[in-house]
Structure 1
Amino acid sequence: MSIQIPRGTQDILPGTVELWQYVEAQARDICRRYNYKEVRTPIFEHTELFKRSVGDTTDIVQKEMYSFKDRGDRDLTLRPEGTAAVVRSYVENKMFGDAAQPTKLYYIGPMFRYERPQSGRYRQFVQFGIEAIGSSDPAVDAEVIALAVDYYRSLGLSKIKVVLNSLGDPASRKAHREALIQHFEPRIEEFCGDCQNRLQKNPLRILDCKKDRNHELMKTAPSITEYLNEESQRYYDKVQELLDMMDIPFEKDSNLVRGLDYYQHTVFEIMSEAEGFGAITTLSGGGRYNGLVQDIGGPEMPGIGFAMSIERLLLALQAEGVTLPVETGLDCYVVALGDRAKDYAAKLVHELRLAGASAEKDYLDRKIKAQFKAADRVNARYVAVLGDDELDRGVINVKDMATGEQTEVSLSEAAAYITKK
């Protein structure tokens, strides 16, 4: 019996992986421009980290985490999202004491959730995310949203929209929570078991239920924006004002609550409006988490961030017909005829690589015609042809595959000539 890839995972093969490398390089570049520094955290963490930060009433903690005990009987979990791990690292490494504040970090790496695989959603998936910790300035909220929008635009996406909401401060959320309980409690038995369990623990999560989203009580549920106190409303207004100044259009949606318990004030999602993208349109989302650092054992520090799926980004690019400028060709393929020429070809290929060019040669003892076909298959820009006769004369023929032009070059200058071309 053959061993196959686990359900919900994928092999990213040559020909496709170059797209991943390109969008990841672009993510690193835009973070450089916005002054965010990369952080790399372990793929697994103590399970308690995610229960405390993500929330034990969320689908992630209740149903989707890959958790296990190690040989020391410790409860560990493959990270289902990036924020909790980054904040844990921020606290553990006392980044709050650094002179440069706020602390601005980004990450790119695999996450793991046990959910039903579907288009653009896998059980192992890659997230690009940022976290800005240490400032409660609404301008940081606007900056985080702007970075995500600028990143999508830089890759060529145009059919995207920003959806914005505010969950308010703890006082606003408490008032809204009580209103939600009063709204749903008389008919809670009509909802799924998860919603019934969440009524007293976290009724806001009911609004995010996928099973009961068409229930009539969902449409008439009290809106969080009705319960924003003056301070929370002022904060929300300032974020909107700054986005307008940045020419970043957005829509307000009072039903947007996001799927994690740690959010306060600003929450947002960026969606694709490309035709044929699919029923699930969300590309990325995030928000402010002013109590999370303290919950994980650090000082009282505000924070905000977002995360996006690389898989769904690539689907959006495909839906909009965007072709990324990915170069996959080889700089030079060395064709050799004769035993001595083949030996020298190994030396020349090595010199080309040391000089910074991508180079390849034949390793299957193929005839000259087959070697030229091999050069075509790897899309070689130049082909250097060397036989024993050319070796005796100390020269090599270099062919430009785009123009067909051939130039005889001294062997001693071949690597420098090809690299310069």
Structure 2
Amino acid sequence: MSKSLQAIRGMNDILPEQTPLWRYFEGTVARLLDNYGYKQIRMPIVEFTELFKRSIGEVTDIVEKEMYTFEDRNGDSLTLRPEGTAACVRAVLEHGITGGGQVQKLWYIGPMFRHERPQKGRYRQFHQIGLEVFNLDGPDIDAELIIMTWRLWGELGIRDAVKLELNSLGTSESRGRYREALVEYLSAHHDKLDEDSQRRLKTNPLRVLDTKNAETQAVLVDAPKMAEYLDEESRAHFEGLKSRLDAVGIPYVLNTKLVRGLDYYSKTVFEWVTDKLGAQGTVCAGGRYDGLVEQMGGKPTTGVGFAMGIERLVLMLETLEQIPEEISRQVDVYLCAFGEEAELAGLALAERVRDQLPNLRLQVNAGAGSFKSQFKKADKSGALYALILGDDEMAQQVVGFKPLRGQGEQQSIAWDALAAHLATCVVQG
């Protein structure tokens, strides 16, 4: 027997019963970003491999072990994007939209790809909403990004389940001094480091700070701290960020081991973390990358941004049962019509109602069927009410109105009064 076709491991279908919650989450974020003055940009999911080597760093785990890279028919090395910032920087450079110091506040949404070990909340194809700001260098814009996410958590009802962690990585110069001190310290304790940290010590030593190994964490207790090596500019920037968060009343925790997994970060880095999802605790993360645009061939341009994982945040909404009632109901009203004449009248009536109530979710029965079978489909749809058109209703030019969820008697509504009645019963509550 031939092997049955199925999705690639770690790349999942999002089924019809799941998509309403995804659309709710995505719509909530999109409205919030619109309200703060951000504009959407859409980039390809495939880029030249060199883009990610130059931006993320060749000795990062992502480039070394996790990218989906292949040669196309022209012999070019291409990669499915593992993150969005590099692609967004490439786009603004290619189209010149940050030239001359133009401020750009951009956001994007879409799939990313990393060849990791699939587990709950971590997939090989995953979806992110990302945000990037160019040509603003003060702590005020860093604060705005964090304030927006804080507002989002409030709108979603998950604010009590997340915690903000902050750190500053300083400029590349101060980070370089810190790197030297950290390498010197860790080298003196080389035998106590786990194998992965020993490898990172030679390639990307700051990533040792992010280790989950208990013995290495014990070694790090007395390691040099980044704060001790911050230059005055970075220190003032970080203090400015904290004072703004304090002014708004956003609580945070200083995490001196927070470094992020990408080489391009500088100054501010932050993560929103939760203990509600097991091992996959980070739901949103980002920071400042003032040298990245120049590193990729552009003129010196400051940048800051973040990305949030849609799968993890949708999972949080499910775990915390923060799903609006209307999300689980995809149909408000179901129209049942019996006989060809009633079906024709029902179609016309449904379209008139849609003209007057464009937000009403009205489903018209298709496939005919008996009274019993149509009502069974109406009930299965999750609709609050059924509309009934039969011979008696046709003769009187009324429609039967029957509650399907809760108490209430069936009543007859004149065709020309139906939209107003539905506006009262459904659209307004």
Q: Percentage identity across aligned positions?
A: 43
The equivalent of 1:270 in structure 2 is 272
The equivalent of 1:334 in structure 2 is 335
The equivalent of 2:151 in structure 1 is 150
Give CA deviations for 1:356-383 in whole Å, capped at 9, x if unaligned: 2433233333210121121111122332
The answer to whether structure 1 residue 371 and structure 2 residue 374 are counterparts is: yes
Which of 408, 413, 416 is the matching residue for 1:404?
408
Distance 1:92 1:160, change over 3 A: same
* Cα distance in 2 for residues equivalent to 1:373 and 1:14: 20
Alpha-carbon shift at residue 184 of structure 1 (Å) = 2.4
The equivalent of 1:182 in structure 2 is 184
Contact residue 22 and residue 326 of structure 1 kept, 8 A: no
Alpha-carbon shift at residue 197 of structure 1 (Å) = 4.5
- Partner secondary structure for residue 401 of structure 2: strand
Alpha-carbon shift at residue 172 of structure 1 (Å) = 0.7
What is the TM-score with the length of structure 2 in the denominator? 0.89
* Cα distance in 2 for residues equivalent to 1:280 and 1:346: 49
207-216 vs 383-392, greater mean Cα deviation: 207-216
Which amino acid is 2:382 matched to?
N
Give CA deviations for 1:372-402 in whole Å, capped at 9, x if unaligned: 1211111223322122343344443233445
The equivalent of 1:172 in structure 2 is 174
Distance 1:248 1:297, change over 3 A: same
The equivalent of 2:86 in structure 1 is 84
The equivalent of 2:427 in structure 1 is none
Alpha-carbon shift at residue 416 of structure 1 (Å) = 4.0
- Partner secondary structure for residue 98 of structure 2: helix
The equivalent of 1:19 in structure 2 is 21
Q: Which runs of 5+ in 2 are unaligned?
A: 425-429
Give CA deviations for 1:145-165 in whole Å, capped at 9, x if unaligned: 111222112110112211111
Distance 1:285 1:419, change over 3 A: same
Contact residue 194 and residue 215 of structure 2 kept, 8 A: no
282-291 vs 363-372, greater mean Cα deviation: 363-372
The equivalent of 1:131 in structure 2 is 132
* Cα distance in 2 for residues equivalent to 1:53 and 1:326: 43
Contact residue 18 and residue 326 of structure 1 kept, 8 A: no
Give CA deviations for 1:25-73 in whole Å, capped at 9, x if unaligned: 1101111222111111111111111111111111111111111111221
* Cα distance in 1 for residues equivalent to 2:315 and 2:215: 25
Contact residue 191 and residue 212 of structure 1 kept, 8 A: no
Which of 217, 221, 224 is the matching residue for 2:223?
221
Give CA deviations for 1:250-270 in whole Å, capped at 9, x if unaligned: 111111111110000011111
Kindly report the root-mean-square deviation, in angstroms, between the aligned alpha carbons of the 2 structures. Answer: 2.4
The answer to whether structure 1 residue 121 and structure 2 residue 122 are counterparts is: yes
211-220 vs 322-331, greater mean Cα deviation: 211-220
* Cα distance in 2 for residues equivalent to 1:98 and 1:358: 48
Contact residue 262 and residue 292 of structure 1 kept, 8 A: yes
Alpha-carbon shift at residue 21 of structure 1 (Å) = 0.6
The equivalent of 1:305 in structure 2 is 305
Q: Which runs of 5+ in 1 are unaligned?
A: none
Contact residue 166 and residue 225 of structure 1 kept, 8 A: yes
Contact residue 396 and residue 409 of structure 1 kept, 8 A: yes
**Superposed, which structure 2 residues align to 1:346-365 within 5 Å?**
346-355=347-356, 356=358, 357-365=360-368
374-383 vs 15-24, greater mean Cα deviation: 374-383
